[in-house]
Amino acid sequence: MKKFINDQKLYLLGAFAGAVSGFLYWKFIGCSSGTCMITSSPVRSTLYFSMMGALFFGIFKKEKNAEQS
């Protein structure tokens, strides 16, 4: 489990940062009319931003070569 967390550290950090920013976006900006698909619900906003954060932080992950393993 510890190896998995160390290998996926950047994705987990991105997911956490995205979740926090998604919740804050819903809380302070959000959608007052309730017609917005993502930002009208705190759960949807948090999950969507979490996924986007993980994908964005994943861009910066360096790939390991087979020779380095």
pLDDT by residue (tens digit) across 18-37? Answer: 999 999 999 999 887 878 88
Average pLDDT over residues 46-68: 86
Q: What is the pTM of this model?
A: 0.81
As a whole number, the mean pLDDT across the chain is: 89
> How far apart, in whole angstroms, are the C-alpha atoms of residue 55 and residue 57?
6
Instruction: Determine the residue type at 62.
Output: K
Task: For residues 6 and 65, give the distance between their C-alpha atoms in angstroms, rounded to a whole number.
Answer: 17
Over residues 60-65, mean pLDDT? 78
- For residue 24, count CB atoms less than 10 angstroms from its CB and return exposed for 0-12, middle for 13-18, buried for 19 or more: middle
